[in-house]
Structure formats: structure tokens, C-alpha cells
Amino acid sequence: MPLDPPTVADVLTAQRRIDGLVVRTPASSYAELDRLVDDAGASGAHVVVKHENLQRTGAFKVRGALNLLLRMSDDARRRGIVGYSTGNHAQALADAARHVGAPCTIVMPTAPNPVKERAVRALGAEVVLHGERLEDACAHAEQLAEDRGARLVSAADEPDLVAGVATASLELLQQRPDLDVLVVPVGGGSGAAAACLVAAAVAPRVRVVGVQAAASPAAHDSWRAGELLVRPNRTRAEGLAVGRGFALTQGLLRTHLSDFLLVDDDAITRAQRVYLTAGRTVSEGAGAAALAAVLTHAERFAGVRTGVVCSGGNASEAELRRALTSA
Ligand SMILES: *Cc1c(COP(=O)(O)O)cnc(C)c1O
């Protein structure tokens, strides 16, 4: 059965519901970053970074998880939740579950980012490592949820999650109503779908551009084809490592997304370095993908006031070392 997409009224309600539980993250500009983007070919571009890397648990996803868990009945909370994730969805669910006192089990693919795995355990969730790819972890999580009578929380096909995530875009448009474009990284598509929903309702002249890793292009290819596709999933930016399109988020992307760009993993790593050096900002790969797209496709952003979502900051040590030694 198709899910009803959230409305902007749901987003406003979510904003009130999670107010005080999440960080109103800064929207910042950096002269050196603007200069680098200008040098890359976007003359007169002005970049505004939405710092969800500074969000509670280090990524935007906790906005959605809190909204979802706060909307669950007492009985459903007692039965608990099961999620599957490469890390940030996991941390968000674990954090929100702890807030409402619900048991939380997370299935992660084997060999997770150690920073994320430690954080999930520290938040009190049970961690099960299963399968090489997110798709394998997903199948295992479905089984666990059924066995335990718990609620399986999808990473994207969840209206309450999208409504909560949308508060990040709403907040950015409230902080910087002068923006022309929002550039949003895409994995399952909740962040970009949420940006489309909000922009269409409150700032229809603002264009929303999605960015995905070329090594994991399922959402991009699904959007271009107009149907849900399965695609290879090989990016090292684990926040973007998703192998299929999701119905709810693709439906919202179809209503308002104006373009969808692909970036390769090395461009993402270089953008992480730019964040470190020109923006004093720690981003994980997925968190730097939007900036990577602006640097790679700079000519499209000449003279444009561009909001880039720095979606997360949970980079492993190895990842930061790679970024600092990249050319
Ligand atoms: C999950 C995640 C994304 C992708 O978001 P979707 O809503 O799945 O498209 C991007 N960046 C970071 C840091 C993430 O954790």
C-alpha cells in the first residue's frame, strides 16, 4: 500500500515536537570557501553551509527519528524498534529510542565505521552485525522485527521520519530566506525529499538539487527513469551507500527536484579536505557530497546563493587521514 507523504503542516508540527531536543544548527559562510568555489568556475557564487554535522549524534537524521519515536504509542514503544543502517540512521534511532525509553536493536553490515558502531552501543542499543551490504542487513532486520513483534523502521519509507528531517530545510530557509538553491546529499532520499516538500510549500522559487555518489546511483537513476531501480552500491561514503530507490522519497523528489548530480568518491574526499581547511569543519564523506557537487559542477552555481547541507560529521580516523592527504 503506498504511503501518504507528509505535508508541510506535518513538518511544522514536527518542528514544535522536537524543539529543544535538537540543535538549531548554524548556517555559515566562509570567505575562503567562496574563493575556492569561485576558482573552481562558479564566479560570484556564495555558499552557505547548513551545519548538520553539529547536530545531536553528528547528523541530521536524529530530527526524523525523534519525530517518529515521539509519535509512537506507549504500547508500540514498549515492543521496541528494529533498524538497519550503516551508522547515522542507527545512531539517530538509538538516541531517540533512549529518549522515549524504547528498546532498540540495530542491524549493521559487518565492518561498520567504528566511530558510528561505538556511538550506537554507547547509546544503549543492541547491535547485530550482519551481511556485507545494507540490503543484507535490511533482510535480517525484517526477520528480527517479525520475531520480536517490534516496529521495523525503514531508512526512507517513513512519513514521520521525512517530516522530522524536513525541519532542517525549513530551518535553513528561515535562517537564509535569500537562498536560490539547496544542494542536498542523497542516499535513501529522505533529506532531499524533505527539502523538496519544504521548498515547494514555503519557497517555491528555491531550486533543490540532489547529489549522489556515482558509485551508488540508485536514487539518481530511479529519479531519471521514473521508476524504482536497484543499482550497484560501492561508494565508500557510507551515508550514501544505498542500493535501491524508495517509493515515498522518489514520489516527493518527482514533485520538486530540479536536478540530480553525481560525484565520484575522490571528489567527495577532496571536498572533505576543503571543509577541513577552508571551513574548519569536520564532515564525513556523505556530509561533503553536496560541496563536492558544487566544486565539480561549479559553472552551474556561478552567481548563485547556494545552500549546501553538510549532513554529517561522523568521519572515521582513516577517512580524515585520507582527506588530509588527498591532492
Ligand atoms: C543518511 C545520510 C545521508 C543521506 O540521506 P538520505 O536521507 O538517506 O538520502 C547523507 N548524509 C549523511 C551524513 C547521512 O547520514
pLDDT tens-digit profile of 11-62? 999 999 999 999 999 999 999 999 999 999 999 999 999 999 999 999 999 9
CA distance to 52, 182, 195, 272, 307, per residue, from 240 (Å): 15, 18, 17, 15, 19
- What is the pTM assigned to this prediction? 0.96
Reading the block at residue 232, the C-alpha cell is 550497484
Burial 26-37 (b: 16+ CB within 10 A, else e): ebbebeebbebb
pLDDT band at 72 (very low <50, low <70, confident <90, very high): very high
Pocket of ligand 1 from Cβ distances under 6 Å: 59, 61, 88, 155-156, 185-192, 239-240, 284, 286-287, 311-312
Place of cell 565539480: 296
What is the distance between the alpha carbons of residues 61 and 190, in angstroms, rounded to a whole number?
Answer: 9
**Per-residue pLDDT averaged across 226-251, rounded?**
96
pLDDT band at 259 (very low <50, low <70, confident <90, very high): very high
> Maximum CA pair distance of the chain?
57
Reading the block at residue 291, the C-alpha cell is 560541496
Domain ranges of the chain: 8-59+159-324, 62-153
**What atom in ligand 1 is closest to the CA of residue 191?**
7
Q: Does position 302 have pLDDT exceeding 90, yes or no?
A: yes
**Atom 14 (ligand 1) nearest CA:** 239
Q: Are strands 305-310 and 104-108 parallel, antiparallel or unpaired?
A: unpaired
pLDDT band at 113 (very low <50, low <70, confident <90, very high): confident
CA distance to 5, 46, 205, 219, per residue, from 177 (Å): 25, 14, 11, 28
Q: Does position 151 have pLDDT exceeding 70, yes or no?
A: yes
pLDDT at 1: 62
**Atom 2 (ligand 1) nearest CA:** 239
pLDDT at 86: 84
**Atom 7 (ligand 1) nearest CA:** 190
**What atom in ligand 1 is closest to the CA of residue 313?**
13
pLDDT at 45: 92
pLDDT band at 135 (very low <50, low <70, confident <90, very high): confident
pLDDT at 326: 82
Distance 203 CA to ligand 1 centre (A): 23
Q: Does position 2 have pLDDT exceeding 80, yes or no?
A: no
What is the distance between the alpha carbons of residues 192 and 195, in angstroms, rounded to a whole number?
Answer: 5
CA distance to 39, 103, 224, 231, 325, per residue, from 289 (Å): 18, 33, 19, 19, 18
Percentage of residues in the chain having pLDDT higher than 70: 99
The CATH number corresponding to 62-153 among 3.40.50.1100, 3.40.50.970, 3.10.350.10, 3.30.450.20 equals 3.40.50.1100
Place of cell 517479525: 146
**What atom in ligand 1 is closest to the CA of residue 155?**
8
Q: What is the mean pLDDT of the chain?
A: 96
**Atom 4 (ligand 1) nearest CA:** 187
**Per-residue pLDDT averaged across 116-126, rounded?**
94
What is the CATH code for 8-59+159-324? 3.40.50.1100
What is the distance between the alpha carbons of residues 127 and 108, in angstroms, rounded to a whole number?
Answer: 7
Residues 83, 239, 260: CA angle, nearest 5 degrees: 120
Distance 253 CA to ligand 1 centre (A): 15
* Equal CATH topology for 8-59+159-324 and 62-153: yes
Do the beta carbons of residue 184 and residue 211 sit within 8 Å? Answer: yes
**Per-residue pLDDT averaged across 141-166, rounded?**
96
What's the one-letter identity of residue 113?
Answer: N
**Per-residue pLDDT averaged across 145-167, rounded?**
96
